[in-house]
Amino acid sequence: MGDRVIYELTENGEGTVDEILPRSSELVRPPVANVELAVLVFAVQEPALNLSLLDKFLVHTESSGLETIICLTKQDLISEDEDAGPPAKGEMMSDSLKELVKLYESIGYQVVVTSAKCGIGIDPVLERLAGRISVFAGQSGVGKSSLLNAMVPGLQLETNQISMKLGRGKHTTRHVELIRLTNGGLVADTPGFSTLDFLQIEEAEQLSSCFKEFESYAAECKFRGCLHLHEPGCKVAEAKDQGLIAASRYENYLQFLGEIKDRKRRY
């Protein structure tokens, strides 16, 4: 999905593709090309927010050179008081969610907390999508289709309830579909999934550059090609110890590094 082509019309009104033009960007999963902006959609609850998977998605968008928005959906499922009803527009987020938003904003990502049910946070996302080709990606059941339905009156994409037994959603979007917005944007809606690999990262050294907050510290590491494990003079590890890099992000970096090394050993 997303390739730009040169084609020629045939006599029966159909067409033949003569040439596939070079791609400006490419994602393997979801399979989409030539997008400029990725909207990573994760629910704050149902399914539970998986920060490891969020960071893995961020590695993919960074390695592909895409701008990225983090969209946290289903704000109506949380409140300061568990017995309280859904939040009204403008109501304060829970402390844990505010800390999460603060963390990723400090790294340099726009984070928007939304509720399609209550109409919260829709406009800021729409503004970023105007005139752009973007892709919505995330787990099944996080509300990608509900969010798009709220953005495009009359769209009526199929939605499904979360499976409480499995803790994840059903695949209501079964293929990559391009949706036209009223503000000139085009959005590729993609099937949800809960696992990603690192096939596009060929060397372990590439992973560090996909963690934006590592960049300034990595430049000061004692050894060129430092993997930020146990190397002496590693400024990234020092920054983590000093609280300048979030422990959760550093731990996920180590986990992903291990996955990449295991893959290289298998092949």
The Cβ-side half-sphere exposure at 48, using a 13 Å CA radius, reads 6
Please, what sign has the CA dihedral across residues 157, 50, 236, 258? negative
101 assigned to a ligand binding site:
no
- What tens digit of pLDDT does each residue of 10-69 get? 877 788 888 787 766 666 656 677 788 999 999 988 888 889 999 999 998 898 888 999
Q: What structural domains does the chain harbor?
A: 5-189 (3.40.50.300), 205-266 (1.10.40.50)
138 assigned to a ligand binding site:
yes
76 assigned to a ligand binding site:
yes
- What tens digit of pLDDT does each residue of 108-125 get? 999 999 888 888 899 999
pTM equals: 0.80
Q: CA–CA distance from 114 to each of 28, 146, 158, 166 (Å)? A: 27, 11, 19, 24
243 pLDDT higher than 70: yes
87 pLDDT higher than 90: no
76 pLDDT higher than 70: yes
146 assigned to a ligand binding site:
yes
Q: Please give the share of the chain, as a percent, with pLDDT higher than 70.
A: 77
pLDDT of residue 168: 46
